[in-house]
Amino acid sequence: MPFNSSTAMLYYNKDLFKAAGLDPNKPPTTWKEMEEYGEKILASGVVDYVYSTGWPDWIFEQALAIHDHLYADNDNGRSGLATKVVFNDDFGQMIIDTWTRLHNKGIYIFGGAEYSANSAFKAGQIAMLIQSTSSLAGILKASEFKVGTSFYPRFEGYPVGNSVIGGGSIWVTKGQSEEELRGVWEFLKYTGQKDIAIQWHKGTGYFPVSGAALKTLLDEGWFSADQAFLTAFLQILSGRRDTAASTGVRLGPFVAMREIFVSSLEKSLAGQLSPKDALNEAEEKMNLLLKDYLELYGK
């Protein structure tokens, strides 16, 4: 059952934008603007670095999905087990080139896995953060500046897809006793309650799990009181939901594949490998994993 669903969006520090002479109501919408804004913010000297991200692997997947680009073959592994990854083309190359360039310019600071980049944003050490929408409440609470949220930046001129859902869902394993299943069912009903869903959304930024909860939030004026919470909904609703590329991947060895991507990105940022070699390395290792998976689970 879905429970904590999120997606990735752009957070920015409006006070720092103002201090750097930028319009606090005009966050960057493209990667080109990320670079231009980044240069301006760096030149103004208000911060040492401009932006960071959480979950680098997931942020990369977002960049593909939001432009309706597949990650792996067989419709991202949805119409059959995937046999190879397909992101290592001009487009994928452009993503990693861009990030590496921004890193070398000092605009992007690599923030490590998961949520470790959040502290730099909350402390006002960086002006922008690309992170899960689930961090919103925490960031608003801890930040002593005006926080703006906006859509995940795009590459201009490429197709429209959608940002993919992250977070988690609740799974029930087979073979439990009747009594335990009854307990599980009570728990699932509890998490699905309207009040609980609203509380969960307000306390984190995750999407509320039911339509009833969403309507109540809308009716009570939650989204007009703080527009920052609306961004995630609009981003998802304004994208496509009818293509495999825009709805996420289904890959057996995905956990390992993600870590391979992160370590390749790290090598590219550190200058240990060229962006091209880094992506080639990731592709080669991931394809081997997919092949092994196919051998074990295929047929």
Partner 1 sequence: MHEDRFPGHKFLPYLLIAPSIAVIFIFLIGPFGQSIYESFFVSTPFGTRTIYVGLRNYIRLFSSPDYLNSVAVTFKFAAFVIIIGLSISLAIAQLLNQKIRGVGFYQVALIWTYAISPTIAGVIWASMFAPATGLIPYIISILSGGYKMNWMTNGQLALLIVSAAATWKMLGYNIIFFLAGLQNVPGEFLEAAQIDGASPWKAFWRITFPMLSPTTSFLLFVNMLYAFFQVFGLIDIMTHGGPGNATELLVYKLYRDGFIYLNTGFASAQSFVIFFVISAVAIIQLRIVTRKAIYFR
Chain positions contacting partner 1, by CB under 8 A: 48-49, 52, 103, 106, 109-113, 116, 119-120, 123, 125-126, 253, 255-256, 259, 262-263, 266-267, 269-270, 272, 292, 295-297
CA distance linking residue 217 with residue 201, whole number of Å: 10
Name the DSSP letter for residue 238: T
Is residue 160 within 8 Å of residue 245, measured between CB atoms? no
CA distance linking residue 20 with residue 17, whole number of Å: 5
The minimum distance between CB 130 and partner 1, in angstroms, equals 15
Q: Position of tokens 């290592």?
A: 88
- Residue whose CB is less far from partner 1, 207 or 254: 254
The minimum distance between CB 291 and partner 1, in angstroms, equals 11
- Residue whose CB is less far from partner 1, 47 or 214: 47
Q: Tokens in use for 210?
A: 């039911």
Q: Tokens in use for 90?
A: 């001009």
For 28, half-sphere exposure in the C-beta direction (CA atoms, 13 angstrom radius) is 28
Q: Tokens in use for 190?
A: 């509890």
Name the DSSP letter for residue 113: S
Nearest to 42 by CA among 54, 51, 29: 51
The minimum distance between CB 272 and partner 1, in angstroms, equals 6
- Residue whose CB is less far from partner 1, 216 or 274: 274
The minimum distance between CB 119 and partner 1, in angstroms, equals 5
Classify strands 128-132 and 51-53 as parallel, antiparallel or unpaired.
parallel
- Residue whose CB is less far from partner 1, 106 or 159: 106
The minimum distance between CB 11 and partner 1, in angstroms, equals 15
- Residue whose CB is less far from partner 1, 175 or 221: 175
Classify strands 128-132 and 8-13 as parallel, antiparallel or unpaired.
antiparallel
> What ranges make up the beta strands (E) of the chain?
2-6, 8-13, 51-53, 128-132, 147-150, 166-169
- Residue whose CB is less far from partner 1, 85 or 269: 269
The minimum distance between CB 271 and partner 1, in angstroms, equals 9
- Residue whose CB is less far from partner 1, 106 or 203: 106
The minimum distance between CB 297 and partner 1, in angstroms, equals 7
